[in-house]
Structure 1
């Protein structure tokens, strides 16, 4: 029987597949940390109160990258090169989702619309991250090797998702409602395509590393494509709705040094 728990346990138990998984995750988190750091530095004067929260978001992403690197180090492994087809953040940027790296490298203040684009992009991608971590939390919260990392990252992702809801609702009330909904829809539809492509690329790599049969690989491919069809039809709506979160002001307060994972 194919199950998420069984598949991930296979990846976890094999050094090379675990190395690839952690390397992909660490690279994406480090990229997110850089992006948030640049956005925090370029926040327009009208949104200056948001800068510490964006910086906190970036600090969390940096922390997650260090956690995945530490998991590799514990097993005596070094990071692997990230195959281009598995680079989620790069593929999203190529589709024009979020703020481009070229824009973030310029020392010019962002606009309020840029902040909406950033938050909408984060709302969609943090939905995905929170759901993936919830799945790992369900099956591996008490795992002796990765349990603590899963619990820490899952809690942060829930904070990040709550923060994007809260800030987008604030900006909607300030008159950006239509632009927010349009941007969320564009981000969601692009993200589900990128997620499908990255999932297929990762699955193909894992299949070769773990020696999965053609039948098993075909079943997994069919499952990924079926999930995409569902998301393309109706599933994307969960990524564009906004509601006041139970966690209020989850990234408020000053940025503090992120605790190291040991």
Structure 2
């Protein structure tokens, strides 16, 4: 029976597909860590209170990258090159979602409008990340090899999502509401398209590694297209709504320095 759980179990059980999965995930998390670190360094004076939270966000992303690296080491595996068509983070930048890397490499302080762009981009992508980790936690929270990593990353992604809601609501109250909604909508519509394309690419690579039949690959591709159709019609709205989270000040304080899980 074809299900999300059986699909991920198959990827988990094969060394080559597991190395590709972890390499893709580690690369994206490490890139996110760098981006947040640069944004924290360039925060405008009026938003300096956010710098610590942005740094914490980046530290969490770096930690996640190390976790995926550690999962590979536990299996005696080495990272593999990430195919460009599976690089979600870089494709988002290519299509103008979030702050460009050229902008982040410059030493000029960001404007408040840049912080809105950063937070809107994060709100959309953290929604995706939190949902994916919720699914993996439901299936693999007690798995002897990956369970602890899944629980830890899922907890962090929930914190990141709560943080973006709270900060965007604060900026909306300060008069940036129209810019926030306009930017959220643009980010959401672009993200669902890029997520569809990346999902198709990842499944194509996994199918070659795992020897999936044409019929199975076609069924999975049809499912991905169906999800995109729903998101394009109505599902994107969940990525642009804002509500005060139960977890307040989720990224307050400094990043924890607990030892890695593995």
> TM-score when scaled to structure 2?
0.99
Q: CA deviation at 1:261?
A: 2.4
Q: Distance in 2 between matches of 1:259 and 1:153?
A: 14
Task: Tell me if structure 1 keeps the 8 A contact 2:30–2:61.
Answer: yes
1:88 maps to which residue?
Answer: 88
1:232 maps to which residue?
Answer: 232
Task: Tell me if structure 1 keeps the 8 A contact 2:189–2:232.
Answer: yes
Q: Distance in 2 between matches of 1:254 and 1:261?
A: 19
1:210 maps to which residue?
Answer: 210
1:40 maps to which residue?
Answer: 40
Deviations 1:84-106 (A, max 9, x none): 00000110001100000000000
1:69 maps to which residue?
Answer: 69
1:152 maps to which residue?
Answer: 152
Q: Distance in 1 between matches of 2:41 and 2:102?
A: 15
1:25 maps to which residue?
Answer: 25
Q: Distance in 2 between matches of 1:258 and 1:240?
A: 33
1:183 maps to which residue?
Answer: 183
Task: Tell me if structure 2 keeps the 8 A contact 1:63–1:258.
Answer: no
Q: Distance in 2 between matches of 1:49 and 1:162?
A: 17
Q: Distance in 2 between matches of 1:253 and 1:76?
A: 36
Task: Tell me if structure 2 keeps the 8 A contact 1:71–1:146.
Answer: yes
Q: Find the residue that maps to 2:152 and give its secondary structure.
A: helix
Structure 2: 5+ residue stretches without partners: none
Shifted more, 252-261 versus 49-58: the winner is 252-261
Q: Distance in 2 between matches of 1:35 and 1:257?
A: 20
1:49 maps to which residue?
Answer: 49
Aligned-CA RMSD value: 0.7
Q: Distance in 1 between matches of 2:258 and 2:100?
A: 26
Q: Distance in 2 between matches of 1:258 and 1:115?
A: 29
Aligned: 1:168 with 2:172: no
Q: Distance in 2 between matches of 1:57 and 1:258?
A: 15
2:132 maps to which residue?
Answer: 132
Task: Tell me if structure 2 keeps the 8 A contact 1:97–1:187.
Answer: yes
Q: CA deviation at 1:253?
A: 1.2
Q: CA deviation at 1:157?
A: 0.2
Number of residue-to-residue matches in the alignment: 262
Q: CA deviation at 1:258?
A: 5.4
Task: Tell me if structure 2 keeps the 8 A contact 1:66–1:261.
Answer: no
Q: CA deviation at 1:255?
A: 3.5
Q: Distance in 1 between matches of 2:32 and 2:51?
A: 15
Structure 1: 5+ residue stretches without partners: none
Q: Distance in 2 between matches of 1:16 and 1:158?
A: 30
Q: Find the residue that maps to 1:2 and give its secondary structure.
A: coil
Q: CA deviation at 1:256?
A: 4.1
